[in-house]
Structure 1
Amino acid sequence: MRKRDWDTARAILAGADPEHLSYYVTVAGGVRDVTRWITGPIREEPDSALPVLIRGAALVSLAWEVSEAAGESGESPEVRQAWAKADECLDEALRLDPACADAWAYKIEVSRAAALPVEERWRRFHRMIEIYPGHWYGHVEMLMALAPEAGGTTGAMLEFARTRAAACPATHIPALVVRAHLAHHAHLEKLRNPAGKGAIADWSYLERDDITDEIWDAGQLSVFHDDYHETLLTPIPWNLFAYAFTYGDILKQASNLYEVISDDWITREPWGDMDFFLASRAYTHRNLG
């Protein structure tokens, strides 16, 4: 995509299974300046949803940039127009391919960013899981769409994570329970320390017995389930559970995950940066005995 070699990119995307495709679309849509040239393949392939989907994904990224640049004036006409443009492009992808679950996943993201009613957020989510019940990125977007920062509540976010975990055993989806608890922990930290400077993190929430028990159970439904199969996205739940086990004081299981993750499968989330990952791993190994 950086070389604007659409023929090769299309062959990779078109040959991918649904899970790989969901990941590849995030990569392709994040390539800088892709919107400037993907219009060529769109014109040349008027019946193909694929280049339109990539443009929609790229427009979502651009809309976030416009929103961040607007700062306090996030309700400006420019911001609203950016999100509407992304949504219209995703609608076009769905017109060309009504079974495009990835378009619905991005439309969930748009519904959150554009502050659409919660009923519309749910409508988009339900349309996505009708097509692909295990779409990880779409589930994450719906979780975020129910978070307090998006006008939702912690209770709604946790209930969604629990319900979907129970509905999708032996998949990545139960790791949403970790995402939900980490999001609430981050919310508590922000309330405790709004400036985000100088204070040592308070891990007492993640150390609560009811929280550690629920996260443990989610692990048994996910990566530790007998029927779970490792995939391209498996490092995501590995890292989520490693974080939760570390700061929930389940150090033996955290250590096992660090061994699997090694130096090859470290994900940006939930650590934020490499220094925090390394410090967390060292803390686990140091305190394990």
Structure 2
Amino acid sequence: MPRIEEAAKAADWAAVRELLEARPESEDRVGLLWAVAETAGVEKWIGRAVEAEPHSALPLLVAGARHVCWGWEARTGARAQHVSREQFATFHDRLRTAEKWLYEVAEREPGWTSPWYALQATGRGLQVGRTTARRRFEAAVRRDPHHLGVHQQRLQQICRKWGGSHEEMHAFARQAALGAPAGSLLGQLVAIAHLEHWLDLDSGEDAAYLRRPEVLKSLREAADRSVLHPEFVRRPGWVQVLNTFAMAFSLTGDKALARACFEATEGKASEFPWYYLDGGDPIAAYRKHRTAAGR
């Protein structure tokens, strides 16, 4: 990932393109794409690449993805009541621009999953409605039925904080996890759903929730089907998936399974979901809970 970030920071489109083309859609290009999209300043030069390659979908995809991230940067992660009217205006303007380009990419490259992944993020910000949001998810999974990022986006869409419900979120996570092949990364959805539920509760209720027997059973079932299954393969995203289970088991008090997940990470910490703990310092949180688990 650092190579493509360095290329993006240097406005080196040739290098960015080469690295993206080396990771085809069939091998999940979203991770690399988002590394570029989250790089500040890409919006200043990607337009030149679009103009230089008018018949290529790839620079347009990068431009659209960057505008998604750029839009969310304008909104910030604050709750809606703390976001100004000007911020919302900028947010929506950038997302609408992203949608225009992403739909054009989807038309040019009907087999690509990436534009539909990004259109789920724009749809959430623009509040396109439940039917449109569901159709965008369905369009993505028709192209890649077990795509982790696509399912993560859908899970966010149906969270309570975005107008869904805990019940809908948990049902979707479990169905996706158990419906995926053994060893799939999609088991992470169950852990994310429980962490989202935990985050939505008041202090005291949150800890009690994660120690409920049915929550522990659900997490163990998902881990056995996913990261702890003999057929688990370290595909793109595996570090974050293992870290998510490590944090979830740490918070439930299941030290044995937390330790197993920490061991499998090989010392690699992911930003998500650890930034929810220890003042937003993922490395500090990872190390603290790894030590508590006996690693």
TM-score strictly above 0.5: yes
How has the CA–CA distance of structure 1 residues 76 and 285 changed in structure 2, closer, same or farther, with 3 Å as cutoff?
closer
What TM-score, normalized to structure 1?
A: 0.89
Task: Look up the SS of the partner of 1:270 in the other structure.
Answer: helix
Q: TM-score, normalization: structure 2?
A: 0.88
1: distance between equivalents of 2:178 and 2:95?
A: 33
Q: CA deviation at 1:58?
A: 0.5
Matches within 5 A, 1:65-144: 65-68=73-76, 71-73=83-85, 76-144=88-156
- Work out whether 1:268 is the aligned partner of 2:276: no
**Superimposed CA distance per residue, residues 25-59 of structure 1 (whole angstroms, 9 cap, x where no aligned partner):** 01011121112111122122222111111111100
User: Is the CA contact 1:49–1:97 (under 8 Å) kept in the aligned structure 2?
Assistant: yes
Q: Which runs of 5+ in 2 are unaligned?
A: 1-7, 276-280
Equivalent residue for 1:5, pick from 6, 12, 28:
12
Written as runs of structure 1 = structure 2, the 5 A alignment for 1:54-65 is 54-65=62-73
How big is each residue's C-alpha offset from its partner over 1:224-248, in whole Å with a ceiling of 9 and x where there is no partner?
Answer: 2222211231111110111111122
Is this contact kept in 2: 1:109–1:142, CA < 8 A?
A: no
2:35 counterpart residue number: 27
Identity %: 25
Q: How many residues align?
A: 276
Partner residue of 2:51 out of 43, 56, 59: 43
Supply the AA of the counterpart residue of 2:200.
H
CA separation of 1:128 and 1:202: change in aligned 2, threshold 3 A: closer
Tell me the equivalent position of 1:197: none
Please list the CA deviations of residues 39-86 of structure 1 after superposition, one character each: whole Å capped at 9, or x if unmatched. Answer: 122122222111111111100011112223981437954433222111
Give secondary structure in 2 for the equivalent of 1:203: helix
Matched, 1:186 2:199: yes
Q: What does the per-residue CA deviation read over 1:217-273, in whole Å, with 9 as the maximum and x for residues that have no partner?
A: 10111112222211231111110111111122221121122223243x100111102
Runs (4+) of structure 1 exceeding 6 A deviation are none
Cα RMSD of the aligned pairs, angstroms, is 2.0
Structure 1 unmatched runs, 5+: 194-199
Displacement of 1:128: 0.1
Pick the aligned partner of 2:227 from 223, 229, 242. Answer: 223
- Name the CA shift for 1:140/1:74 in 2 (closer, same or farther; >3 Å): farther
- Residues in 2 aligned to 1:201 and 1:211: alpha-carbon distance in whole angstroms: 14
Which whole-Å CA distance do the structure 2 matches of 1:127 and 1:141 have between them?
Answer: 13
1:239 lines up with 2:243 in the alignment: yes
